[in-house]
Amino acid sequence: MSTTSYRSKIASAKLTDWVEPSFEDLCGISNSSFAPQTKPSGLVRRQQKNKEHPLFINSSHSEFQKTKRSKYFSREKSSSQIENDPWVVKYKPETQTELAVHKKKIEEVEVWLKAHAVQRQPKQGGSLLLLTGPPGCGKTATVQVLAKDLGVQLQEWINPILMNFRRDDVKNIFDCESSCQMFSSQSQTGLFQEFLLRANKYTKLQMVGDSTETDRKLILVEDMPNIFYREPASLHQILRRFVQTGRCPLVFIVSDSISGDINQRLLFPKEIQEELSFSNISFNPVAPTSMMKVLNRIATSETNWSGGRVAVPDKTALELLCCGSSGDIRNAINSLHFSSLTDSSLQRPNKREKTGHKPGKLSSRAKQKQNLEKSLVKQEHLQAIGGKDASLFLFRALGKILYCKREPATESNLPRLPLHLSVHERDPLLVEPEAVVEKSHMPGDLFNLYLHQNYLDFLTDIDDVVRASKYMSTADILTGDWNSRAALREYSASVATRGVMHSNTARAYAHCQGRVGFKPLHKPQWLLINKKYRENCLAAKTLFSNFCLTSLCLQTQLLPYLALLTNPMRNQGPKIPDHIKEALDVPISVSELQNALKSLKLGSAPGNDSSDCFYPRHWPIAPEETFLEIET
C-alpha cells in the first residue's frame, strides 16, 4: 500500500469521524478523490476557495453545490440512507399524478412551459412567469415535475452566502506571486445579473445521469436576493434587459406571507407586470382530499416498509394533521413524520390518560365526552409537534363572527342563568372570538372597523342593533387613547366581537340558526375618510405653514373660520358664488382653497409670499399675533 493512499485513508477516516452523518453521501467520494494529499499551496487554497465562490459554480452557491451533489449521489444511496431521509424528500413527487396540486393548475403551468420553453420561436425573447400562492402548496414541486416531463433543464438561482472576509483573504488578494488577482466582494445585484447572463447563455454543468439530449432550459428564481426588497427598481431594470435579450423563460416563485401578497406587490407591481408581459399563475392551498391521499399513501407505505417500527397515526389523527397544516403539504408530511417517531424521548406522558378512570361501564354520554376529550388531547398533542399557525382570511374571520354559529348546550357545559337574567341565555359559541381575531392577523381596532361596517346587515331586530352599537361604542372608547391603545386593543376586539354575537338574538340558540344567506362584506368607510382627513391635514399645513398650528387646530379652528366667512350675513363683501362656498366647506383640498381665496379677492394663502400676504378683512387677529400667542 502506498504512503499516499495510506495517508488518504487516515485523512478520510478523520473526515468521516466528524462530518458524518450530514455529509455521509459525500464520504465515499471524499475518501478517495477529495482527501488532501499534500498541504495546499496558496494558489491551490485560493482555487479551492474560489470553487466556493458563487461565480465559479453554475448556480452561484456552495450550499447549492452541496444539495446538487447530494441530489446527484442520491441515486447511489443505500437503503439506510434513504430511511434517514426526511419524508418530504423521500416521498417527493416524481410524476404529475403524484402531485397534490389541482389538475387545472398543473395544466396551466404545463401549457405555459410548452409555449415558452419547448416550442419557443427563435426571436421570442425572454418570457416571464410568476407563480404565487401560500407556502408549501407545491409550486416548486410542480415546476420540477413538469420540467422533467418536458425535458427542460432547470437552472435555479439560490442566494449566495456572503463570505466572511478573513485576514488571510487580504493577504491572498494582495499576493504578488499570484498570477490572478481577484477581489471576491460583489454586490447581490451584480451576482444575480451575472447569474442570469450565464444561465441564459450557457447550458448547465453536466451531472452524471443528466440527459444530454436537450438544450431547452428554464431559469427558476425562488430565493429572491434581499436587495430587491429594498430596491425593486434594480430588479425591474434587470428584467427589462432580460425580456429583450433572454433566450429562455424565467420563472419566479413568490410565496404569500402572513400579511398576504405584499412581497408580490412590492417586487412585481401591476405596472411592471403589464410592461414586461408577465404571465401570472396563482396556486391555492392543497385541498384536504389531495392532502389526505398523500398522507395515506405515505402512512401505508411506511407501515409496510418498517414492519411496525414506525407508529403511523390512524385515520382521525391524519385528518387532524390535515386540518392543522392549512393546505401546506410540506408541513403536513413533516408533522406526520415527527408524530410517527417511536423515539421515547419525543413522547410526552399524557397526564389525563395516566390518571384516567378505571375501566368500567360508562353511559353513552360519558363515552361521547371521553371520545371528544381524547380527540382534543390528540389534537393538542399533534398540534404541539407540527401544528401550523392557521391564519384566517379576513372575510372568513368576519363571517365567523357575524354568522355566529352555536352548538346545542348540554347541562355539563352550560350552567343555567337565574330567571331574571334569562334574556341573556345563549347556547355556547362554536368559535372563540378572540382566537378568530388573532388568526386574522389584524390589529383588534382595525378588525372592529370591519365589524362596524358590516354588522347591521346581520341583525334583524332594532333592539339588537341598539345593544350591539353600545358594545361597539364601548370597544371604541377602549382604544380611544393612544397611550393605552396597544394594551387594550385585544380587549376592545373581544368586547366588540362578543358584543355583536351576543346581541344577535335571532341566532341565540343552535336550533334557531336559519340560513342567513350570502351577504357581501364591505371595507370600512372609515379607511377612506381617514385617508381624506390625512390628505386635508397635510394640505392645510402646507397652506398655512407660517401659522405653526397643529393640523387639529387648523381643521377645527382656522378652516371653520374660513367657512364662516362665506356666510353673507357676516361677510359684507361681494356675494360669494355657490361653488366657492362649497369649496370653503371643510374638508377642502389645497388647490381648491387657494382658488377659493383668490376668487374671493379676500386674500391669498397667508404666508405663501410675504409681499402679497394679506388676510381677510374679518380676520379676528393678524396671523403674526396668532403665531405669538402660540409661542407664549
Ligand X SMILES: Nc1ncnc2c1ncn2[C@@H]1O[C@H](COP(=O)(O)OP(=O)(O)OP(=O)(O)O)[C@@H](O)[C@H]1O
**Residues that bind ligand X in the complex, under the rule CB under 6 A:** 88, 91-93, 98-100, 133, 135-141, 253, 255, 294, 329-330, 333
Instruction: Tell me how far, at minimum, the Cβ of 86 lies from ligand X, in Å.
Output: 9
Instruction: Tell me how far, at minimum, the Cβ of 88 lies from ligand X, in Å.
Output: 4
Taking CB atoms within 8 Å and a gap of at least 24, the contacts of 369-376 are 369/412, 375/316, 375/320
Task: Give 36 or 135: the residue with its C-beta nearer to ligand X.
Answer: 135
CA distance 24 to 18: 10
CA distance 409 to 419: 17
Task: Give 150 or 506: the residue with its C-beta nearer to ligand X.
Answer: 150
Instruction: Tell me how far, at minimum, the Cβ of 605 lies from ligand X, in Å.
Output: 53
**Sign of the alpha-carbon torsion through 474, 523, 442, 516:** positive
Task: Give 81 or 546: the residue with its C-beta nearer to ligand X.
Answer: 81
Task: Give 138 or 313: the residue with its C-beta nearer to ligand X.
Answer: 138
Instruction: Tell me how far, at minimum, the Cβ of 233 lies from ligand X, in Å.
Output: 24
Instruction: Tell me how far, at minimum, the Cβ of 129 lies from ligand X, in Å.
Output: 14
Radius of gyration of the chain (CA): 34
Cβ neighbours of residue 232 closer than 8 Å, sequence gap 6 or more: 266, 267, 269
Task: Give 100 or 549: the residue with its C-beta nearer to ligand X.
Answer: 100
CA distance 285 to 351: 35
For the purposes of burial, counting CB atoms within 10 Å of the CB of 312, is it exposed (0-12), middle (13-18) or buried (19 or more)?
buried
Task: Give 87 or 471: the residue with its C-beta nearer to ligand X.
Answer: 87
CA distance 454 to 447: 11
Q: Rounded to the nearest 5°, which phi and psi values hold at 515?
A: -70, 125
Instruction: Tell me how far, at minimum, the Cβ of 358 lies from ligand X, in Å.
Output: 44
Instruction: Tell me how far, at minimum, the Cβ of 295 lies from ligand X, in Å.
Output: 9
Task: Give 219 or 583: the residue with its C-beta nearer to ligand X.
Answer: 219
Helices then strands, each counted (H, E), the chain? 30, 5
Q: Other CB atoms closer than 10 Å to residue 519's CB: what's the count?
A: 12
Helix, strand, or coil here: 61? coil
Instruction: Tell me how far, at minimum, the Cβ of 466 lies from ligand X, in Å.
Output: 48
CA distance 38 to 35: 9
B/e letters for 6-37, b = 16+ CB within 10 Å, e = fewer, are eebeebbeebbeeeeeeebbbbeebbeeebee
Cβ neighbours of residue 547 closer than 8 Å, sequence gap 6 or more: 554, 558, 606, 607, 623, 626, 627, 630
Instruction: Tell me how far, at minimum, the Cβ of 261 lies from ligand X, in Å.
Output: 13
Task: Give 312 or 437: the residue with its C-beta nearer to ligand X.
Answer: 312
Task: Give 72 or 491: the residue with its C-beta nearer to ligand X.
Answer: 72
